[in-house]
Every structure is written in C-alpha cells, then in structure tokens.
Structure 1
C-alpha cells in the first residue's frame, strides 16, 4: 500500500489523454503528441495513457506516424499506454446523428468517457480532442484534476443571434396563434439547455487552455464561473514546429508567382470563394488571357481528402474551375507528402486562407515560417494572433480580405464605401477591407508589390512566429501546467477522497 501513498516519490502518476482520433494526423493530434512528450519530460514518474478509437492502428504505428509527421522525437515508448475504446466510438461522429447532432455527440462523449474510466482510471484527465462531456464523469466520480485543451468552443453566445427569440424576455412577442413561434420557442429552450450545460461542464475544469485569442474570448464569455471556482483559463498556442520550418530557408530568394492554399478539401475552407474571386480578378485585369504569364499569379490547392464528403468537395471544386475556364491557372495537389508540402511552402510567393473564423490556422503559421506571404481572411486566428496589425487590411507580415458572403457582413455599414471594399465592425471598430479579387488587383496591378517589400514582410513574420508558435515554447508552458496538475492530484487525493479511494 505504501507505494500509493501521496507523498511517495516513487508513486507513478497516470495522465489519461482522451483523444479518440489520436491517429488522424491533424492539428489536434499535433497538440496531443507534443503534450504527451512534454508530460513525459516533466517527470520520470509520469505515465501517459492514450484513449483512442483508432482500433485499426497498432500502438507502434501510431507512435511512428506521430514522430515522423510532427517532428516528435525522444518519446519514451515504455511510458505510453494505449487504451482502445470499441463500444461507443460511432456516437461521437456527427454523421451518426441525423437530428439533434450536438446533443448526440455530447451523450456519446459521456459514454466514451465512461468506457475509458472502466478500462483504466487515470490520476489526471486531459482532454485534447475537444469533447467537453467526456470529463464530466471523471470529475464527479473519480475526483481527479481535469485539463481541457479547447480548439473550438462547441457553443458560442452569438449563436442565439440567429434565433427569433434570443432571450426568454423576448417571449413577450410570442403569439399563441402562430405555429412558427412554438418552433422558435423550442429552439430557444433547446439551445439554452445546451448552453448552460456547457457552462456547467466548464466548472469541472481545473485548467482550461485555449488555442488562441478567438477561442479564449469566447470561452471567457461562456465559462464565466471558472474564476470564481479558482480555475485557470489561459491561452496556449499550439506547437507548430516553427523552429524546424524556419531553418534552411532563404527569404531573399526569388519565388514562383503562385498563390498556395494549404487546406483540407472541406466546404468550410471556402475554396470556391477563392476560385470565384480569382476569376473576377482575371476578367477585370486580363480579360483576353487564356494561359498564365509571368505577371499573372496562379492558384495551387494542396490538401487531403479523408472522407467521401471531402472527395465530393474536391470534385465539385474541380468542376467549378473547369466551368470558369481556369484549368490552366489552377493546380490541384491532393494527399501529397509532408516533404512536398514544405517544398510548396518554400517556393510559392503567397499563401491563402479563406475560412471564416478559422479558430487558429496552423497553415498560416507555416506560410509565415517558410516565407510564404499570407493573404488571409480577416477573422479569428489569422487576424488576431498570426498576421498582426488588425486595424487595417495591410498586416505586419501579410494582407487581409473579407467577403460579401461573410455571416458578419452588415449592409448598413456600406454607404460610402468605394467599389471592391467593405466596412466591417471588428470588436467595435469600423475597418475597411478589400474583397479577394480587389486585394489581388491592389498588390499585382494597381501597386505591384516589390521584391524588397516581400523580403521585409518575410523577415518580420519569422521574427514574430519563430518563438511564439514553436514546439519548445509549447513544451515549456505545458510542463508548468503539468506541475500544477501534479500538485492538484496530491491535494485532491487528500481532500476529496475517502481513505479507500486514496489507496486505489
């Protein structure tokens, strides 16, 4: 029994990483594996347990993939344990739920967390997947510290703006004779219940980490009770490997006049918006050109297709390119290797991002790290954390654009705006942004950007992101949080558990 004594220096601490899709190879998995490495580095007594639904992959295959894809070296395999979750994995997939998807996924996350607890109960629970219901039962029944790394809040307070009745006091407008009002009332009750359940889940987290300013701002307005409970809510930028990407790159070298968009082929990435904007740019400035020239930039879409839906999005995009007559101007690079990605980042002149409210944007960080000047949508992570200078469309190391299709576009603000530009309310400040085609016209036709200016932008960008988004910075800060969790684990074992629970 003595080995499990709270003060025993040889007592092993089991850190349970709840990450069902541990083998997927995306940005969330990059955070997971760098966090695992940092946890093992924090103390030799630490053991990392990975709860995953990737039953098709062997443990060593998962580890090798993580090490090669994310430059994770030095993992002590002897202290990494995999627990395969087999019973409820389909319940967290949005495709499983035809209706009430969010409720279904929350329910599925709870059952998957229960299965994980049943297979092996950890000393500390860490959610890096972003399934908030998964830590409810561990927090209540196991009485252990909880850390949650949030990539994207599942609910935001501004969601209520889409409802007819946004608050219960708005029910004064309710009509007993209007059938639609009953549906509107049902929506208000449904979203209110979900919202306050999410608020409640936040109170169970000892350390809540947001991947950027946009996520942090939203969580701060939702998890308002966390500070009252003495719980932490902080920003911890994801590890982007910038210390590797900034090596061996010549920022003064002449590059190919290409616009690279590095993103999965999914609808929310809005590749079609770029194709339409690019077509308008050519029609306005080079109406009779049918083939690329040295002065006309071309598009490169590089990304992966993980699902049938992704493949359908890619096919639709290719058809749009063909319909617009852009086949000579648009190149598709699908499911290419990481080395090929780095080659594109090193040789292309500009990098694109068109997603509305991209919560962070690791791809944009990679652009900057390899000297690819970002031309990005002015929202969330790219605007607030990466490109810099959010008061104008000309950033510190890149440029911004907006779209008429943006959900936050307000027609009432556009009275005196010149053609091709739009005014948006950004955190109470009115800022003018160009459309994508206008931005291209500004930097390629109206006032062509010089090589000297490009070099300056690249150098500015590297200076900012090299340390800010490095694996080293993430590791150092993560270890500080692990030390806090280690102290909390001892405290909870003494204060919150019975004598039997302290031992087992």
Structure 2
C-alpha cells in the first residue's frame, strides 16, 4: 500500500473521529465547564468592581454627564425586536459579551469591525461589559488610544476590558510547516480553552474566523449563544479550485503530482470538518455577497440538517467604513482637483495575500509605457503603499518590497507609509487620484470603500467584494476599473489618469455615491439587529 492511500485513510479516520467526538467531549468537559462557571463568577465580581472604579475615575476626569460623553445617537428601539417569550428585549441587559480577536491591535479592516461592533453594543446596551480576548499584551489605554488614532472610534473605556491569551502562538500560520489549516483550527481550540479559563461570557463572538472555537463553546457551554462575523471562509470551493492549472492565489496551480493530490484531498476533508463546526453557530454574519455565497454553500446543508436555519440565517453585514467622516474631510470639487496629483494609493496590510508585488510590477509597466499626461501638468506619477506592520514578518515583507521596487527601477516613485495615523491617511486621500487593490478574492475591501468615499477612482482586482459589491456601476456608469494581470492594472492606471477633467470629476462623485452604502450607521443598525438575537437567546436560555 503506497503513501498516498495510507495518508488519505489516516486523514479520513481523523475526520470521522473528530466529527463524532462532540458528545464525548461534552461529557468529558462537564467537570471543566462546571469549574469554569464557578471561576467565572469570581472573575465577574472582580471585573464589575474594576468597572465601577474606572467609571468613577472616568466621570471625575471628564466632569460631564454621561449623555454628553459621546454625540453618537442611539440606535432606534424599532430594531430591538421581541424576546423569545413575546416581550420586548431588555434594553438594560447587562451581561458579558466576549469577543475573540487575538490580534486586536493589528490596525486592519477586521479590527475596525471589532471596534465598531463594540461601540454599537455599548450604545445599545450601555450596561453590558465587552471583553476582548487578545494576545496583544498591552495596556488598555494604549490600545484604545490607537483605536482613536487609526479608526477615529471612541469607546467608553470603563466597560471595555482585555483578557490576555498566552496561547496565540497556536493559531499563527508560522507555527505549522505542514497542514497549516488543520493546525491553526486545532490551535484555536487550545486558544478558546485558554479564553474560557479566563472568563466564560454570556455571549461569545468570534470576529476573526476561528469557527472551531465557537464549536467548542457550544459543546462545553450550550447555554452561551455564539456568533461568527465571517470575513472570509477558512476554506472555500474557490480555494480548492485554485489548485487546478491556471488557478489564482497563493496556491495557484499547485494541485498536480502526488503532493498536489494530497493537498487536494486534505483540503476537501478539512472542508467537511469546517462545515460541521459551522452548523453549531447560532448567529452568522458575513461581510459581503461573496463571503455569504461561500458560507451558504459550505454551512447551510449541515445547518439545515441540524435545524439551525432561520429566516435571518447567514446575514450580510457590510463592514463599517468612515464614509461620513471622509465626505466631510475630503472635498470633491473643481478647486480640490488642483490639489490632487497623479498618485496611486494602495491601503492594505503588508500581508502576502494583498499581492503588493503585482501592483509594483503593474506600476513599473505603467511607468515604462505611459504617454504624457497633460491633465496632470506633467507631474511624475507616484505609487503610495500604506499599511500596518504587525510583526517582524511584515517588516521583512516591506524590506523585500523595497528591494523589488529597486529591481523594477521605480524606487524613486514608490513611497511606503507604515502604521499611518488617520490624519496621514486623510492627507494622502486628498492628494491622490487613484485607489488600488491587488488581492485576488478580497472578501470585502474596506480600503476600496474608503477610496470611493474620498473620491478616488479605483483600479481593483476583478474578483471578490471589490468586484461584486463595491466598484459597481452607479446610475449606469462606472465608478472604477477591474484588472487581474499586471498589464491590465497598468492599463487601468492609464485609463484612470487619462480621463478628461469633467469625466474625472463625475466619476469621483459616482464613486462617493457608491460608498454611501457602507456607512458606520448602516453597520451599527445591522450589528444591533443580530446582537439582539443573541441577547434574546441568552435571556431565553438563562430562564430555562
């Protein structure tokens, strides 16, 4: 018997064992669950005491009434709905909401979702306490200050607490040289166990994509409602199909040969595990049409079998974008056009999937072949790469990108802005003309919406959220351009920078109109609607 049949047999056995382990784990986990509930009561008392003391200090420091602390308007009670027993859901619900987000200080679009979700929760349920399970062992004031600087989101500090995980190592991709997806997913079980040893919340929400942690919660603590905000599926049919010749993405075309066959079977079996775990989640939110379609395809058959499907199952909740603030801060007028240059702006974390090398190659092609651009008074085009640098791996990526820019002879026309503050980003969005996105199957694309709100003409990948939800025709006319290859991007840059002034201004206005579908207020309303379902479930289960 060869290696391949043995490997597949072993993997299938692991899959079957995992699939039927829930009841065993529930029984074996009873002593742990009982102990965690008792310990959590003690932890709650400590957190409540800390909250009261911080609230007292906060009020003294601000010397103002609670209603004046923030000019955020409350979400209307019309979205509150009814509780399971037919009565109105309690607006004064004061439970603990646990958010699993081990990289909460990363500064990306996923983090903006987290902080906007906490802000919406605080405004709707001001007595609730939001707890973030994170591996970023930093002082609370430092984290919340960065939230203000990076996202301009102001939270009520006394009712936000951070519980620090010591097991984040187990969900890092670098921890596993082989079978990374399975390793990270099993590692998330260890991390979730770590979280529950710190505090068992009343509601448990994963905002980073660790679905297995929600499955563990549903097994050990069935009374705790769970929710997933899915930025992208851990595994998808697109991902499996990318192994085929001509596929796209990090693993494009790697499905040939023995190793490719093993990977394909491994991913297929892992997808079945992922689907089973997804069937246990109470409330599911996805960030885009693309993500919703994939999660429905993966999870709905299993959820139907378990009777989990509801009228609101797998809801689209578009991520929050600072559209209103950008509209106020960035003008789109004939006068403001004089302040813009032929600058191309790429806002995105320095991660491999963002495909910065493709954009550098496209920019190099554009610079070699571009004709004169009289509209821009012969100003020299520039490519500006803005992104957060999370760790040493990101630092190495930036270093390699700088080297690539030199190899492509465009280093003098490329600028790197690492860990930019919100004012810095605003300044560049006022000055730039084009917004760029290079990621294949970007699940949504908050940066692209920011481009549109600032009036930038987008040149984005012809896939995922940017294609399906964001850079779409408005009033029957385009708001930007789609591309897949370096040559297509270069052509997109040329088209965007060669438009006549009147059409440039008209497209900027259409782009802004498009962005108005993705406001902070729209996100807050949808978040509260789904959060209310969780509060209803928690109240109902607690009263059993």
1:205 matches 2:287: no
Question: More helix by proportion, 1 or 2?
Answer: 2
Cα deviation code 1:201-246 (max 9, x no counterpart) = 1111111111111111111110123354234201101111111111
User: Matches of 2:216 and 2:364 in 1, distance apart?
Assistant: 53
Q: 2:515 aligns with which of 465, 477, 490?
A: 465
Partner in structure 2 of residue 318 of structure 1: 402
- Distance verdict in 2 for CA 1:52–1:285, change over 3 Å: closer
Q: 1:439 aligns with which of 478, 492, 506?
A: 492
Partner in structure 1 of residue 535 of structure 2: 486
1:66 matches 2:147: yes
Cα deviation code 1:474-504 (max 9, x no counterpart) = 1111111121111111222345xxxxxxxxx
Task: Give the TM-score normalised by the residue count of structure 1.
Answer: 0.79
Partner in structure 1 of residue 384 of structure 2: 300
SS at match of 2:433: strand
Cα deviation code 1:159-204 (max 9, x no counterpart) = 333568xxxxxxxxxxxxxxx66x6664454223311111011111
Cα deviation code 1:86-144 (max 9, x no counterpart) = 2x221011111122211111111111111212221111111112111111121112112
Partner in structure 2 of residue 19 of structure 1: 101
2:341 touches 2:431 (CA, 8 Å); kept in 1? yes
Partner in structure 2 of residue 364 of structure 1: 448
Partner in structure 2 of residue 91 of structure 1: 170
1:280 matches 2:357: no
1:44 matches 2:44: no
2:149 touches 2:422 (CA, 8 Å); kept in 1? no
Task: Give the TM-score normalised by the residue count of structure 2.
Answer: 0.74
Q: Following superposition of structure 1 onto structure 2, how do residues 234-249 of structure 1 map, counting pairs within 5 Å?
A: 234-249=315-330
1:387 touches 1:395 (CA, 8 Å); kept in 2? no
Higher mean alpha-carbon deviation, 139-148 vs 318-327, is at 318-327
1:18 touches 1:129 (CA, 8 Å); kept in 2? yes
- Alpha-carbon offset, residue 285 of structure 1: 4.1
SS at match of 1:246: helix
Partner in structure 2 of residue 190 of structure 1: 266
Unpaired stretches in structure 2, ≥5 consecutive residues: 1-84, 245-256
- Alpha-carbon offset, residue 331 of structure 1: 2.9
- Distance verdict in 2 for CA 1:25–1:442, change over 3 Å: closer
User: Matches of 1:328 and 1:59 in 2, distance apart?
Assistant: 39
- Alpha-carbon offset, residue 311 of structure 1: 2.5
- Distance verdict in 2 for CA 1:483–1:282, change over 3 Å: closer
- Alpha-carbon offset, residue 367 of structure 1: 0.9
- Distance verdict in 2 for CA 1:248–1:140, change over 3 Å: same
Partner in structure 2 of residue 222 of structure 1: 298
- Alpha-carbon offset, residue 372 of structure 1: 1.4
Cα deviation code 1:245-275 (max 9, x no counterpart) = 1103220222112112222333322222223
SS at match of 1:105: helix
SS at match of 1:376: strand
User: Matches of 1:145 and 1:122 in 2, distance apart?
Assistant: 9
Question: More strand by proportion, 1 or 2?
Answer: 1
SS at match of 2:417: strand
Cα deviation code 1:32-73 (max 9, x no counterpart) = 111111112222342212111112x11222222223322222
SS at match of 1:61: helix
Q: What is the aligned length?
A: 433
